[in-house]
Structure 1
Amino acid sequence: MFGDITTNPYHLETIIRSDMTRALRSLVPEMLEEARMAIPEHVKIHGAKNSVTVTLFPTMVRLVARVANRAMIGAPGCRNEKFLKKQVSVAEEVIPMSQILNWFPLFLRVAVWKLFCVTVGAKDGAVRLVTPYVQSRIDYAQQVWSCIAGLPFSHHVQDNPSTITDLLLRYAPEEDLKDVPKLAVRVVHLNMAAIHTSGIFITHALFELARMPSEQVEEIRAEIRAAIESEGGVCDKAAVDKFYKLDSLLKEIGRFHSLFAVSSSRVTLSEAAITDGTVLPAGSVVGFAPKPLHHNAQMYPDPYTFDPFRFAKLRTGENAARDITQSFTHLSNDYIVFGLGKHGCPGRFFAALMIKVVVSELLLNYDFAFPAGASQTPKSFAFNIFTVPNPSAKLVFTQRK
């Protein structure tokens, strides 16, 4: 579907696992600025009114697409509505199609995929629209490089990354630098992994905030304000890292609202035996079942109750603030939202940071409520192994004074 990115995933193995995580500090101001510009455009309050009702999940997905692409390709590309619409469509079409392809024998899958691309073409459209912005990053890097005699092309983007695409250029082979659409495909792939999952978490977070007692919501707001004040009034990465109660809310969402019925699926390449003595023949498909694991009463007291501060309350003792074992992004055998071990989601630090930037900005500027007469527990939508928030459920945003 995406060319050679599966056989040569340099955009995941090196960039996302190490370089992008180190670059997060420089990306926060960009994402925050874009969130502050984009939120009023997606949560439009007109005239003398001080509130508006929005269809939450699709609105948050569009908002995330813009903020994520401020980090991914920069401005003005992140504001290209045609590109963003196509990019959002990629996951909505490619992920279900990947499941449908499993219904066909191997020799037919390429033909079925090509037919699908001809009739829909979301990926190709997104690649075509993002290519000029990727080219502009190459041109900019080359311009700087030409002014610095004796230094390799990668020097500028290595020391001064202002977008994730800059990091991509650092490791791109020469043939990809000459074939810009091949780089654009990787940008589209990274976007596909980032947008919808982050949109799901933000949607669940806002639904939960609308259900929570006002006292608890104010606790989260107060901690956000205090964290920003502790950094001289600047909402930078250091401040966001102190949003412990918001972090706890997000982790509890991952525990309580399972995104997948089965996760971290793998195929055994040879016969294997698991600890209870069961022998799995070669070719067996195995995976984790997140819901029963995350609702294990031995690990999580009162597991069927949503407790937004469940993990914040576990940050105790002298080094409570630094207790990363309770953090949203921490991997453990009892919390597998982001996978486990060396195959854990490499982009989880970027996603968590972006989600916190967006949710904190919404929290500081709006109150949330369900429309009069609407269900406060809108039923999620399930397809195959995936579960997403109700795509038609609405939420009322009221401007805070």
Structure 2
Amino acid sequence: MPTDEFTMRVSFLIGFFVLFLFVGRYFRRDPMLDAIPTVGVSDPILSYFSALQFIFDGVRMLKDRYQKTRPGLLKIANFRRWMVLATGTELIEDVRKAPDDVLSMTEQSIEFLQPEYTLDLLNMDDSFQTDVIRSKLTRNIAVTFKEVREELIMAMDDFIPTCDGEIAEWVKVVIQETIERVICRATNCIFVDVRDCRDYDYQTLNSTFAVNVVKFGMIISLFPKPLKPIVSRMISNLPSQIQQEIGFIRPMVEERFAKMEEYGEDWDDKPNDMLMWLMSEAKGVERSFEGVARRLLLVNFAAISATSLASDDTFTQMLYRLLANPKYVEPLRQEVDAVIIEEGWTKAGIDKMHKIDSFLRETQRLDGLTLLIVSRIALRPFTFFNGVTVPAGTLVSIPANAIHTDERIHPNADEFDGFRFAKLRESEGNNMTSRHQAVSTSSELLAFGLGKHTCPGRFFAANEVKALFAHIVTTYDIKFEEGKGVPREHCIAGMRFPGKANFDVQDTAEVNSLWI
């Protein structure tokens, strides 16, 4: 087909699609939503300009309107529908308590990730991996802690060139890529065989798969259902990545299934890892090497992607906050050293590092990786406690970043106070209180979500991040490169991403020095 003709056809399709959106928004206008204050423009056609503005200026738009409306309901347009945002404890509780057949997280996830075209599971209705994460992964944190920590340290040593255990000269390492590799490798050391977790191509596969699921899901979601399969085939490389995953783990899966058939569920040296847990819990069509491979990719996606802790981005922000506030280095070192003397490098020890935990929670508060959280789609009309009803099809969410920077909730909310939550623990007279821990959730701090759909892997992810942070704090000196500071973050379509910086590393007399 001639290039000009192809361009004309593509332009026609794009134009038709835009017209379809505008007309659809106009005729889908619902008077139930008219009384809810709007972030941006409320006109059904002009609201598309607000949807476009939100992609690049969401932080300011939400915070400005939140300050004028709190507590209460807000609405903001996206390219598909209106989003209604709940602020204030009572309204947020309404969202938390709503049953799944009224406000559905599943439907929202399907719309956002388009799993039929991205995750490509054999049985889309079976979510047994969530129970595996909640039960097996969480219960084995203490058991697997030594293995995870050793892998974190080995990975750091591998990515920082050394000579006889010491850094020979200044070297530069890209911080985000390094942290991503380290966390991916440590996570997978209890997901699969240790040889695969250290395989560079396997790390790349899992990291890029997580990114691609979100990217391709967002693109595919923009198109009407009849066009989704066509668009998926045109843009997505996920099927080939799934085949790569199958190729990596097929020998392990076949060997383990053979032992399960011969010995039953128990045998000597049976692996205690995610792959084995998934194989044991899989039923029907999922109980095959292909089904298990797809589930393992899904679990890796949950562990790495921004829908969970997004550990590498959160950790990067923690380092940036430490570099910008070097006054925290010595108190953090003192806490870690004191705890290690008492508990050693154990999960119990990590649990007693309240300042490390507080530093993570405060980073999540100010540098949360998404502006909106606890998103649900109304499957039928839903009425809030104040009497306002939203129609079926409305996206209901909570503006996490605006709440996290609310002065009425968090005094000096725009100021980073790394020990904010450690001090709150002390002021309540019980250092073991769980209310202010990084993994706890409430209507005032929503980094991991809220309610029964709270991130199931948050205990493992937070433990891993704190262990790595404690290791770096006690092993390295850290400072910014001369003349440089915290790189500017990026916020696109409600997702926040830290800017990029580099490691410059050199050996010192007492500890290794990381110059970032």
Alignment TM-score, normalising by the size of structure 2: 0.70
Secondary structure, counterpart of 2:223 in structure 1:
coil
Q: 1:229 aligns with which of 334, 337, 341?
A: 341
Matched, 1:106 2:106: no
1:301–1:318 Cα change, 3 Å? closer
Asked if the contact 2:380/2:391 (under 8 Å) is kept, the reply is yes
Superposed, 1:42-191 pairs within 5 Å as 42-45=159-162, 49-118=168-237, 121-139=240-258, 142=260, 146=263, 153-155=264-266, 162-177=272-287, 179-191=288-300
Asked if the contact 1:93/1:122 (under 8 Å) is kept, the reply is no
Secondary structure, counterpart of 1:313 in structure 2:
helix
In structure 2, how many angstroms separate the alpha carbons of the residues matched to 1:120 and 1:52? 38
Superposed, 1:232-251 pairs within 5 Å as 234-251=344-361
Matched, 1:26 2:109: no
Alpha-carbon distance, 1:338 to partner: 0.4
In structure 1, how many angstroms separate the alpha carbons of the residues matched to 2:438 and 2:295? 26
Asked if the contact 2:424/2:436 (under 8 Å) is kept, the reply is yes
Superposed, 1:2-401 pairs within 5 Å as 2=119, 3-4=121-122, 6-12=124-130, 14-45=131-162, 49-118=168-237, 121-139=240-258, 142=260, 146=263, 153-155=264-266, 162-177=272-287, 179-196=288-305, 197-214=310-327, 216-231=328-343, 234-316=344-426, 320-374=430-484, 376-390=485-499, 392-399=500-507, 400=511
Asked if the contact 1:43/1:397 (under 8 Å) is kept, the reply is yes
Q: Deviations over 1:216-239 (max 9, x none)?
A: 2111111112212112xx311111
Q: What corresponds to 2:87 in structure 1?
A: none
Letter of the structure 2 residue corresponding to residue 165 of structure 1: L
Letter of the structure 2 residue corresponding to residue 84 of structure 1: Q
Q: What corresponds to 2:8 in structure 1?
A: none
Alpha-carbon distance, 1:118 to partner: 4.7
Asked if the contact 2:172/2:505 (under 8 Å) is kept, the reply is yes
Alpha-carbon distance, 1:92 to partner: 1.9
Letter of the structure 2 residue corresponding to residue 285 of structure 1: L
1:44–1:120 Cα change, 3 Å? farther
In structure 1, how many angstroms separate the alpha carbons of the residues matched to 2:196 and 2:256? 11
Asked if the contact 1:87/1:123 (under 8 Å) is kept, the reply is no
Asked if the contact 1:269/1:282 (under 8 Å) is kept, the reply is yes
Asked if the contact 1:73/1:134 (under 8 Å) is kept, the reply is no
In structure 2, how many angstroms separate the alpha carbons of the residues matched to 1:134 and 1:398? 43
Alpha-carbon distance, 1:278 to partner: 2.0
Structure 1 residues not aligned, in runs of 5+ = 147-152
CA RMSD of aligned residues (A): 2.3
Secondary structure, counterpart of 2:172 in structure 1:
strand
In structure 2, how many angstroms separate the alpha carbons of the residues matched to 1:340 and 1:160? 36
Asked if the contact 2:172/2:502 (under 8 Å) is kept, the reply is yes
Letter of the structure 2 residue corresponding to residue 185 of structure 1: R
Q: What corresponds to 2:65 in structure 1?
A: none
Alignment TM-score, normalising by the size of structure 1: 0.89
Alpha-carbon distance, 1:107 to partner: 1.6
In structure 1, how many angstroms separate the alpha carbons of the residues matched to 2:486 and 2:239? 34
Alpha-carbon distance, 1:301 to partner: 0.4
Alpha-carbon distance, 1:181 to partner: 1.7
Q: Deviations over 1:98-134 (max 9, x none)?
A: 1111211112212222333358843443343233344
In structure 1, how many angstroms separate the alpha carbons of the residues matched to 2:220 and 2:188? 29
1:190–1:119 Cα change, 3 Å? closer
Asked if the contact 2:174/2:502 (under 8 Å) is kept, the reply is yes
Alpha-carbon distance, 1:381 to partner: 2.5
1:136–1:332 Cα change, 3 Å? farther
Secondary structure, counterpart of 1:320 in structure 2:
coil
Q: Deviations over 1:283-302 (max 9, x none)?
A: 11111111111011111000
- Radius of gyration: which is bigger? 2
In structure 1, how many angstroms separate the alpha carbons of the residues matched to 2:403 and 2:271? 39
Between 235-244 and 124-133, report the one with greater CA deviation.
Answer: 124-133
Asked if the contact 1:367/1:397 (under 8 Å) is kept, the reply is no
Secondary structure, counterpart of 2:365 in structure 1:
helix
Letter of the structure 2 residue corresponding to residue 259 of structure 1: L
In structure 2, how many angstroms separate the alpha carbons of the residues matched to 1:131 and 1:357? 31
Secondary structure, counterpart of 1:191 in structure 2:
helix
Secondary structure, counterpart of 1:72 in structure 2:
coil
In structure 1, how many angstroms separate the alpha carbons of the residues matched to 2:195 and 2:134? 27
Structure 2 residues not aligned, in runs of 5+ = 1-117
Letter of the structure 2 residue corresponding to residue 181 of structure 1: E
Secondary structure, counterpart of 2:280 in structure 1:
helix
Alpha-carbon distance, 1:398 to partner: 4.4
Aligned length: 385
Secondary structure, counterpart of 1:367 in structure 2:
strand
